[in-house]
């Protein structure tokens, strides 16, 4: 599987954090059941994901427009898997929008590093891109968070706060 991840971040954003986000997205997609990946691949050999880091005004605007919630959130996912982009050699997975200030605040709140919180948000958002939804039912919530925890453990043991 080939995966292309385009990350748009503030000018002085650390390449260390960028690498962690890319790895989190990659491992999440790699961990998905083969049948699920094939369902969306539609005979294409690679996946494409866009990740954008934004501030509070942008995430609030997007959250209001697409979810009807006039407040900042940590991550939004916009899946393109069902529609795709015709004529492209890649299966367009979709877009993740991560709010950097919210990620920083949550990292402090959870006692985690910023890198670990960015990984968590990248994994969480990527699972949403593939149809996982913790808001549908308690069972769906358990499935999604079990999958999220498994990927995070592959990235680094939970006790490591790097």
pLDDT single digits (tens) 16-35 = 899 999 999 999 988 988 77
Crossing angle of helices 56-67 and 100-110, in 10° steps, is 100
Report the CATH number that the domain containing residue 10 is assigned in CATH.
3.40.390.30
Percent of the chain with pLDDT over 90: 59
Measure the CA–CA gap between 28 and 98, rounded to whole angstroms: 16
Structure tokens at 125: 């958002």
User: What's residue 15's pLDDT?
Assistant: 87
E-strand stretches of the chain: 2-8, 46-54, 75-79, 90-99
Q: Do residues 27 and 151 make contact, with C-beta atoms less than 8 angstroms apart?
A: yes
Model confidence at 1: pLDDT above 70: no
- Report the candidate in 46, 152, 80, 98 with the shortest Cα–Cα distance to residue 160: 152
User: What's residue 106's pLDDT?
Assistant: 97
Measure the CA–CA gap between 124 and 133, rounded to whole angstroms: 10
To which residue do tokens 């709010």 refer? 99
**How, if at all, do strands 75-79 and 90-99 pair?**
antiparallel
Residue 161 lies in a domain: no
pLDDT band at 44 (very low <50, low <70, confident <90, very high): low
User: What's residue 152's pLDDT?
Assistant: 95
pLDDT, mean over the chain: 86
Residue 122 lies in a domain: yes
Residue 95 lies in a domain: yes
Backbone angles phi, psi at 132, to 5 degrees: -70, 140
To which residue do tokens 């390449």 refer? 15
Residue 160 lies in a domain: no
Left if phi > 0, otherwise alpha if psi is -120 to 50, otherwise beta: which for 81? Answer: alpha
Q: Is the dihedral of CA 136, 93, 61, 56 positive or negative?
A: positive
pLDDT band at 5 (very low <50, low <70, confident <90, very high): confident
Structure tokens at 113: 């590093």
Model confidence at 86: pLDDT above 60: no
The count of domains in the chain is 1
126-137 mean pLDDT? 91
DSSP at 140: H
Model confidence at 6: pLDDT above 90: no
Residue 162 lies in a domain: no
Give the pTM: 0.88
Domain housing 11: 2-155
């Amino acid at each position: 599987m080939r995966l292309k991840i385009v990350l748009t971040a503030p000018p002085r954003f650390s390449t260390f954090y960028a690498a962690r986000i890319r790895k989190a997205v990659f491992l999440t997609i790699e961990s998905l059941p083969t049948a699920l990946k094939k369902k969306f691949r539609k005979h294409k050999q690679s996946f494409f994901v866009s990740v954008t880091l934004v501030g509070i005004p942008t995430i609030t605007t997007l959250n209001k427009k697409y979810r009807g919630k006039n407040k900042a959130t940590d991550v939004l996912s916009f899946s393109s898997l069902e529609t795709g982009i015709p004529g492209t050699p890649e299966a367009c997975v979709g877009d993740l929008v991560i709010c950097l200030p919210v990620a920083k605040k949550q990292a402090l709140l959870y006692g985690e590093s910023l890198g670990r919180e960015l990984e968590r948000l990248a994994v969480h958002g990527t699972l949403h891109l593939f149809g996982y939804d913790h808001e549908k039912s308690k069972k769906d919530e358990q499935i999604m968070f079990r999958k999220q925890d498994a990927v995070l453990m592959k990235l680094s043991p939970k006790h490591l706060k790097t």
